Amino acid sequence: MGLINMNHKTNMTLAVFGLGHVGLPTALGFADLGWNVIGVDSDRSKVESLTKGHVPFFEDGVDSLLKKHLKSDKFVVSSDSNWAVNQADILFICVATPEYKDGSADISQIENLAYQLRDSIKSYKIVIQKSTTPVNTAEKIRIILSQPKENEEVQSADKFVDVVVIPEFLREGKAIEDFFNPQRIVVGLDDMSLKETIINLYMPLFQKIGKEEQDLMIFTDTRSAEISKNAANSFLATKLSFINMVSDLCLKVGANIDSVSRSIGADPRIGTDFLKAGIGYGGECLPKDLNSFIDSGKTNGVNFSILEEVQKVNDNRVTVYLSQIKDTLPNLKDMSFAVWGLAFKPNTDEIRNSPAINIINKLIEEYAKLRLYDPLAMPVFKNQIGTSELISFASDPIDAAVDSNGVLILTDWPQFKEQDLSKLFQVMKTPIIFDGRNMLDRDFVTESGFEYYGLGI
């Protein structure tokens, strides 16, 4: 069958379905490794934009790779899924898995794509599920693909399909960096005869970075691979909520959460990553994956109460931050604030589930006047949320702070650390900084004449 021929094939064609923050970096990464890649998306306007070399979102390094491989012909973009299926040897599922109101994952896009693939496949294919999904989604895909089409009574043997799970661990804003420098590649296989084919797929990457497959590849079953992604993000969310909970204690007793974080992070069993206190996590992945994992627990009769508390702690961060502002400035009506940062984290224009947006909405309810600045996310904010008479947009951080009653640091963009505090002091009406990301040096800021409020410092 096709599997035997793929094990050492050097001219495989890959089709990547879904060209968002996961699919597009994945497609361009494999194109850069020398594979022929077809990027497929049902959004015709996105396809048209990408074909012209325009990326519809910000992701560092994607723009240059897109232009490079449109020119090299290693990457083509299409909305014709049927054509792509029959050109390709391996099919990647990278479509979105949003959440329902109850927190469970909506995998309807995956199921709909699986039916499309089933109706288009005419010969052996490997289907790789990269979208983050609840456990047992691969089995659902396999069942759909194994069903005959409406006009067929039995699925023919030459149309046999293998389903593999290779969850993505790409960080938004650093997706290209993570593709070419992975910490691990988790591969879920229920048929270990596929192992050599998957190693062959990634061999150009191993050669590029000078590593062996055993250094990076973790082979397991599909269910374990699916759980691995959800568990990883849930654990990271847990670390963040833990340190934020400790920061509340530090605030009450006069301790310093940064010192506490360094102290416990020095233990190699704990590590320093995700131990920075602040206004909480956001974005598309951590909140959604945590909710999906909690739902998987409920569905399978497992008590994930610890994760429910993680969620509650994170939801409360905005309240803690706003209370700090109101305790300092009780009447917010007609107060003017500079808002530094809209994105949920630096190096992205993503504002979905950003704590900054929740804080802005709450301040608008208090009739505070806000002047916003973000290096990347202001166009997205204008497009998705719009404007109001209480909101204006600044050209830089200092411009945002002119005649303001306070600066609100809501995203830890590195350039916010580099601002001239003497100039900032001169333009503000009242020199107060509410540092929601604990970015600045408290002692230096206060010595510069500011009132400074961090979270737990």
Specify whether the CB–CB gap between 417 and 435 falls below 8 A: no
Side-chain-side CA neighbours of residue 11 (13 Å): 1
Q: How many residues are given for the chain?
A: 457
Q: CA-CA distance, 439 to 421, in Å (whole number)?
A: 14
CB within 8 Å of 92: residues ≥ 6 apart:
14, 15, 16, 17, 23, 26, 27, 128, 130
Contact 309, 276 (CB under 8 A): no
Catalytic pick from 285, 368, 370, 394? 285
Buried b / exposed e over 205-238, threshold 16 CB at 10 Å, is: bbeeeeeebeebbebbebbebbbbbbebbbebbb
> What residues are paired with 391 via a beta bridge?
370
- Spatial contact of 125 and 89, defined as CB atoms under 8 Å apart: yes
Contact assessment for residue 119 and residue 147, using Cβ atoms and an 8 Å cutoff: no
How many angstroms separate the CA atoms of 107 and 285, rounded?
Answer: 15
User: Which of 110, 90, 108 has its CA nearest to residue 27?
Assistant: 90
Whether the CB-CB separation of 128 and 91 falls below 8 Å is answered with yes
Specify which residues 39 forms β-bridges with: 16, 77
- Report DSSP letters for 409-433, one per residue: E-S--GGGGGS-HHHHHHH-SS-EE
Q: Is 250 a catalytic residue?
A: no
Catalytic residue numbers read 285
